[in-house]
Structure 1
Amino acid sequence: MIWEIDERARTIEGLDGAGRPRPEYAASLGLIRAPYGRRVLATVIEALVLLLVQLPMLLVVLPAVTGAALDADPVAALAGRDDLVLLIVLGAASSVLSTAFVLVQLILLGRRGVTLGKALTGLRTVNVRTLERPGFWRGAVVRYLVMGASMLVPLVGPLLVIALSPLFDPARRGRSWADLAAATWLVDARRGLNPYDEKRMRIARKTVATDLLDVKTELPSLATPVAPTGAGAYVPLARNKGGVLGAVRSTPGNVVIGETDAVDDEPRSGIPTMVAPAPFATPDPAPAAEPPLPAGVPAPAAVAPGAIVAPAAGAAAWSPPPLLEEPAAAPPAPVAPAAPQAAASVPPMATPPTASDAVALTLDSGDTIAVSGGGVVLGRAPATGPGDVDVLPVPVVDPTRSISKTHWALLRQDGRVVALERGSTNGSVLVRGGAEQALEPGRPVEVRDGDTIRFGDRHAVVAIR
């Protein structure tokens, strides 16, 4: 038996067509660039620790060696010192401790993206392309070589390479020249996602990769249509590890619901397909057959519906032949009226808005969004759909990531102002007068002045003037 080994290259997420990292992908995962102040503080801490380790060498050994070098016979002058053994011990200790400190820094940086200064300031270093550990040779050794080379020009070199170069990053990600050479990126693990928290990082990647609305073009339906004439519109309802639970509206009277497979267009085996009739599609009852007329009785003339016709003079009233008598059914028992229940939806509008009214949204943060043109669509990174005309995407900051990339929209349709849920993960709720109504994906709901739309952990108040 011949075993074939899959040698396909690993697919790296978050790269553009040229293989360059996309900053918006890292931002969608929750990664935040390291603030400039803490970057400098981390470098200063590491430099102070290294200086502390080097103090015996700088304060004791170096002055003694310098004084002996100025003597006519440096070797004899150094060998004749009474503290020669102490100088050797202090010099060896400083060298060993400095080497150990730098080596530990390199290993921690290459394996875990952290050093002593970064651990104290809550920063982490990742590979800028893979957003994983930077690696020992390029991510750690090359970085420290560039930083060490900057020391060849005292004061100016470290100031330019370490302190000032992050301010001139063309991608505005705060990467220094050492980061550019090592292909690394410094992120804030306190305010943002820790890239070395494997569980949270895996969930963030799956959330971004499986976002149902992260598409730019209209995709074909994955469900089997009822009628062979058309595929209809695909409406995502839920998702799980096996696929997408969706509905296809192919005819006005039927909806096909079933779990679909991305390989073929048939419903997944083991999951039945249900055909549900439309809620208001009631077939007309078939007309009952009329009894035949007796011999000699002329057929009645055609009469327009609703017309009143008087019987002809001298004509006897004709009645159909008697049917077999059946026992009279008992009169139905009176049914007590049901107790009134609380309304499941919000109360109706008093006065609908007009197309000339000014519409605005006030977020819980206090920001006001003017709704002009065809409307606005909100989310972490919203995208307009194929049917959106003159609709403006408005991104909403959400540190808890409770909002989908494209969550909901406030649109003007046929002189109305409607809220439209775009199939988000956590859904949207319309709040009016203390009553709440969950918005169904793809179904517009008319709103009025003072209504509140709750989406994720955020909410917005509609103002119509």
Structure 2
Amino acid sequence: MTDRPSRARAVPTVVPAQIGRRVGAYAIDLGIALAIPVLFSLIGWVVVLASGSGGARGGLPIALLVCYGVGSLVSVAWLLVYTAMQGGRGSIGQRARGLMLADAATGTRIGFGRALLRNVVWALAASIIVGYFTPLFDSSARRQGWHDKATRTVVGDRKATDAAASVAPAPPPPAANPFLPPPAGAPATPVTAVAPSAPARTAGFAPPASAAAPAPTPALPIAGGLISQVPGVSAPSAAASEVRAPAPSSATPAPAPAPAAAPASDDIDATRAGRSSEPALLAAAWDDGTRFAVYGRTLFGRNPAAEDGATAVAVRDETLSLSKTHFELDGDATGAWVIDRHSTNGTVLLRDGERTTVEPGARTALRAGDHLEFGDRSLTIGGGA
């Protein structure tokens, strides 16, 4: 895969609407679509009768033809207006029910062309009856019918989507790709060494007095503020986060022991994605705003099986759209990559507005700002870093 320049961006998350509200919105729009031509046909009939043409010889067929023509023209005009409204802020029924029609990847309006294609696919599917029920065929929370999948759209809850956007973290500022070397001529970023300012002790650990102080650790090539956590399973153990420090010298009084570590939280969104004692390979943020860092080969899925040399991380997925072992993240000095583990719903890479399906079993290079989708879950590479 050829890498292209990419900017870190936040991809809006559309909260899918419930089927009942979608049916209500469609019923309102259908009622309007039927009422308008009937109303104008009646007006045409009244005009013909008032002009006296209905009583003349052959006047009744002419009156019926006029009414049919008026009704057809009004129906076509309403279809165009209805489609334009769908491509914009939504139809009358959608607005009345608080719904929105948006791009499934970007959360933006779809425009007149895609709205028209969506209505054409809907009409063809509905002509064989089964089209009315295709949203029920989708087991994911999006409930996309054939017309939605064909146009890559989703019907969302406007109020819930706006509320989610108001609390979502701001997108990170554009930054240089952390996975590639700086371009030629760019000043090199100095690597600083950070040493402990004072001896420290960790509860339950007392190194021998003769132990030498550890060598200074170079600063990670990723900006600070990361957390090594992803949504999914249980909290990390206290031993995994234990910090070893040199023992105080005999001339210095030993500091009081630190209080015992607090018990692990039951929060299902707290877990590690790798070994924090090693340099981070990449940073990312889940669709709910949770940030994490990957320090080694890490398997993600609904319930990934343990493998030698890899960290398994279970991801919360109420809709069961993820496979047990869906994908893995890894990297080395040359960059980071994602591998789809032959998942059922696949892995999609969104970069510069283009969607690409990740080839199962093959490494796909990652860039800062890349957006990965896995069923109903997604994450942004570099998000929140």
How does the TM-score come out when normalised to structure 2?
0.43
- Structure exhibiting the larger radius of gyration computed from Cα positions: 1
After TM superposition, the score normalised by the length of structure 1 is: 0.37
The higher relative CO (CA closer than 8 Å, separation ≥ 6) is in: 2
